[in-house]
Amino acid sequence: MKIAVVGMGPAGLRTMMLLKESGHDVHGFEARDRVGGRLKTIRTEAGFYEGGGEWIDADHHRLIALLNELGQPPVIADLYPGTVWMAGKGYVEDEYQEHQAVLDRVEEEADKLALDLDDVPWNNVLYANLDAQTLGGWLDQQAGSAGIPRRILESVYRSDEGEDTHEVGLLGWLCARLAYLERTGGEMSSARFPQGAQGFCEAMAERGGPITFGHALQQVTIDGSQIGLTFNNEEPRWFDRVVLAIPAGCLRDITFEPGISEAKQAAFEAARMSRTIKVSLHFDAKFWTGSSRTLTDGLLQQAWSAQEPNSELSTPKFTLLTDIGGQAAIDLALMGDEAAGRTLVAELEQVHPGAKAHYRNANLHDWVHDDFAGGGFFCLPPSYVLDHYEALVRPENGLFFAGDYGGRWIGTIEGALESAERVTEDINLASHIH
């Protein structure tokens, strides 16, 4: 069977690998000039750092297994515990002193709600009241009149979501939480890619089929059992099956002839990506002591160190990476590289004195305004789970959909790989391959 996979991020690349292993004739298409999608490794004379996604959790078992298979075992990262700076006061991460009881209660209440849910998000029709709520509204209720704990809650949970909590649907957040309930502690962000996240993607590309770069999909034409793909105003290329492995927020930009179902079109239109950017801050010395991991309730939402610099350089270059989500990301993106860098370093100076003296420059990696991303990762807004989620994921007319929205591990690399397995199984079942 002749199959096209559009989008060469981790979901598309893994789908290519699995379909090829199943005996299909597979061809990949990518709008950029590289593989990786929202995984982008910046290589410099000092080493490399990640401009996009980078973290591996200890319970992301399929990702870890695939890295080992590709000869790239994960590198353990030791950034815990970090520093948390809230309302002008510093805390050791996960030790919030007088506020710990409030935080523990919130975690317990969230777990109780999540445990009642079905693993398949759209099966939770009895919980429409949760789907209509936002995570931020629920956190408001939990915090009550205690102002500082609510700021802590916002900082902790917006960091995980890459978005302001009032933009995140409560039911979607709880469904994603289901995958993490068996954690015992320490699994989050515990490892990194030894050859960069893009190196991981390049290794997958070597195992897949041929890839055509610089081809942005414009139109999908369904003609009987054949599917035509139009790129760059060229003549359509025809396939038996097509996998669309592009970010959910970009699906609405494609024209479908004849049109897809109203439910799927509505799902495309309502799909959201987190407003997430990264700003890399470069310094000429390691001015911080202890862990570089920092969370704050200001614009500098979280920061951590990239790899150690090349020791052979006459002037070492130390890099801190910052991950900013929500409206703050938009505000910083509009500033540009240097203004955003100076703003973040001014906040960093309060937590780690010496930052200003050693600061050299910044690079802004704006995923929100990236034409082929539209944001950092898939985000479930209020009312999306029960109104649109199933329609987004399900196959239709020989079209299959893979991405960080297509598995239990929502918004993660693990989820992207999970979706590739599901799509491959669906295609093989439709092709009577077992």
Q: What integer pLDDT is reported at residue 313 of this predicted model?
A: 60
Residues 362 and 423 in one domain: no
CB 273 within 8 A of CB 376: yes
Structure tokens at 12: 């598309």
Q: What integer pLDDT is reported at residue 111 of this predicted model?
A: 95
Residues 361 and 399 in one domain: no
Q: What integer pLDDT is reported at residue 433 of this predicted model?
A: 66
State how far Cα 173 lies from the chain centre: 14
Q: What integer pLDDT is reported at residue 154 of this predicted model?
A: 87
Query: Looking at the predicted structure, is the pLDDT value of residue 350 above 70?
Result: yes
Query: Looking at the predicted structure, is the pLDDT value of residue 89 above 90?
Result: no
State how far Cα 422 lies from the chain centre: 19
Judge whether 50 lies within some domain.
no
What amino acid is encoded at 158 in this protein?
R
State phi, psi for 255 to the nearest 5 degrees: -95, 135
Query: Looking at the predicted structure, is the pLDDT value of residue 426 above 70?
Result: yes
Domain that holds residue 128: 83-178
Q: What is the DSSP string of 157-186?
A: HHHHHTS-GGGSBHHHHHHHHHTTTT--SS
Mean of pLDDT values over 42-55? 90
Q: Which of 366, 395, 417 is the last residue of a domain?
A: 366
Structure tokens at 297: 């309730």
Which single residue is written with the structure tokens 């799909």? 271
The DSSP bridge pattern shows strands 41-44 and 47-50 to be: antiparallel
Q: How many domains does the chain have?
A: 3
Judge whether 258 lies within some domain.
yes
Query: Looking at the predicted structure, is the pLDDT value of residue 116 above 90?
Result: yes
Task: Give the number of residues written for the chain.
Answer: 434
Q: How far apart are CA 158 and CA 139, in angstroms?
A: 11
Q: Which of 153, 178, 203 is the last residue of a domain?
A: 178
What amino acid is encoded at 6 in this protein?
V
> In a 3-state reduction of DSSP, which class is residue 292?
coil
CB 252 within 8 A of CB 269: yes
Q: What is the CATH number of the domain that holds 91?
A: 1.10.405.10
**Which pLDDT tens digit goes with each residue over 164-176?**
999 999 999 999 9
For residue 73, cis peptide bond before it (omega within 30 degrees of 0): no
Q: Work out the pLDDT band at 342, boundaries 50, 70, 90.
A: very high
Query: Looking at the predicted structure, is the pLDDT value of residue 49 above 80?
Result: yes
Q: How far apart are CA 418 and CA 427, in angstroms?
A: 15
Residues 95 and 173 in one domain: yes
Residues 319 and 234 in one domain: no
Neighbours of 304 (CB within 10 A): 20
CB 70 within 8 A of CB 120: no
Judge whether 373 lies within some domain.
no
Judge whether 65 lies within some domain.
no
Q: What integer pLDDT is reported at residue 27 of this predicted model?
A: 98
Q: What integer pLDDT is reported at residue 315 of this predicted model?
A: 66
**Which pLDDT tens digit goes with each residue over 199-217?**
999 999 999 989 999 999 9
Residues 259 and 390 in one domain: yes
Q: Which of 320, 335, 366 is the last residue of a domain?
A: 366
Q: Work out the pLDDT band at 312, boundaries 50, 70, 90.
A: low
Q: Which H or E run contains 2?
A: strand 2-6
Q: Work out the pLDDT band at 311, boundaries 50, 70, 90.
A: low
Q: How far apart are CA 380 and CA 214, in angstroms?
A: 30
Q: How far apart are CA 320 and CA 76, in angstroms?
A: 18
**Which pLDDT tens digit goes with each residue over 74-87?**
999 878 788 888 87
Residues 221 and 280 in one domain: no
Judge whether 223 lies within some domain.
yes
Query: Looking at the predicted structure, is the pLDDT value of residue 183 above 60?
Result: yes
Residues 250 and 307 in one domain: no
State phi, psi for 106 to the nearest 5 degrees: -65, -45
Percent of the chain beyond pLDDT 70? 97
**Which pLDDT tens digit goes with each residue over 261-288?**
999 999 999 999 999 999 999 999 989 8
Residues 264 and 285 in one domain: no
Distances (CA, A) of 311 to 42, 199, 289, 318: 18, 22, 19, 11
> In a 3-state reduction of DSSP, which class is residue 96?
coil
